[in-house]
Amino acid sequence: MTNTNLLGYLLELEQPWQILQIRNDLRSRQVDIWIGTEAPKRSWMFGRRPSVEQASECVWRHANLGTMRCVIHASLSGNEDTTDLPWCGKVDMPFTRAMALKVTTLISHGMSFQQVCTLLDIPVEDLWKFRHRLDSGQAGLSADEVPTATMPAMQAGGQGRVADPDDAVWEKLLDGSTDIDIRLLSLKLLLTKLREQMQAITDKEVRMLKRYELQRYFVRHEKQLGHELAQLGRH
């Protein structure tokens, strides 16, 4: 069995999908794999037949191969049925389905974000992005595939009243450039604490985590924060 065939077996590739290219970087412990359908065959009269659809490349982080990070590059036209392909993910998601299921399983067992990031060797910003999509039901996983312990979080999100974690309103709330009338005492205490912390934080990634922490609070307590959310909607 060739290396290409072995990787195809590990990735659960089936026709017409095939590995087009492999790039190993032992120094950075990463393997990049390009996947696509078979190239159009040549016609004896007209040469290579043109592709009907122009494929665009999607990039996802896949489950590790041993100690190597695995990154999948897939050429998709948008018309393929990739619903059940473990090596594939949603176009706007950071992980393949196999990696997404691994992440949700770890979260459901009570692991912290930092523990998940360390264990799977993934960037914290990718995990936050995935968790936000998971909570809003946009992670590309069915309810049957999501572990039970993560379901309450999914049900708490997706109502559309709370801005995305990357929205500028959270940074403005934290730096004090935007202020709102707050009725919920626990939010007052949290915002005071986070603002004090933000004054001493210069690291971009840590500041992002604080924004996400504040946004997650609003998601969890959305029903009690109608007064505050109405004000945020005007900023």
Which pLDDT score, from 0 to 100, does residue 150 have? Answer: 46
Which pLDDT score, from 0 to 100, does residue 215 have? Answer: 87
- Mode of pairing for the β-strands spanning 17-25 and 30-37: antiparallel
Structure tokens at 121: 């060797």
User: In sequence order, which ranges of the chain are alpha helices (DSSP H)?
Assistant: 3-10, 97-108, 113-120, 124-135, 151-156, 168-175, 185-200, 204-220, 226-232
Which pLDDT score, from 0 to 100, does residue 135 have? Answer: 64
Q: Give the residues of the chain that fall short of pLDDT 50.
A: 43, 46, 49-52, 143-144, 148-159
CA nearest to 207, candidates 233, 172, 155: 172
Asked if 91 contacts 126 with a C-beta cutoff of 8 angstroms, the reply is: no
Which pLDDT score, from 0 to 100, does residue 90 have? Answer: 84
Which pLDDT score, from 0 to 100, does residue 148 have? Answer: 46
d(CA 63, CA 141): 16
Which pLDDT score, from 0 to 100, does residue 104 have? Answer: 85
Asked if 70 contacts 24 with a C-beta cutoff of 8 angstroms, the reply is: no
SS3 48: strand
d(CA 20, CA 33): 8
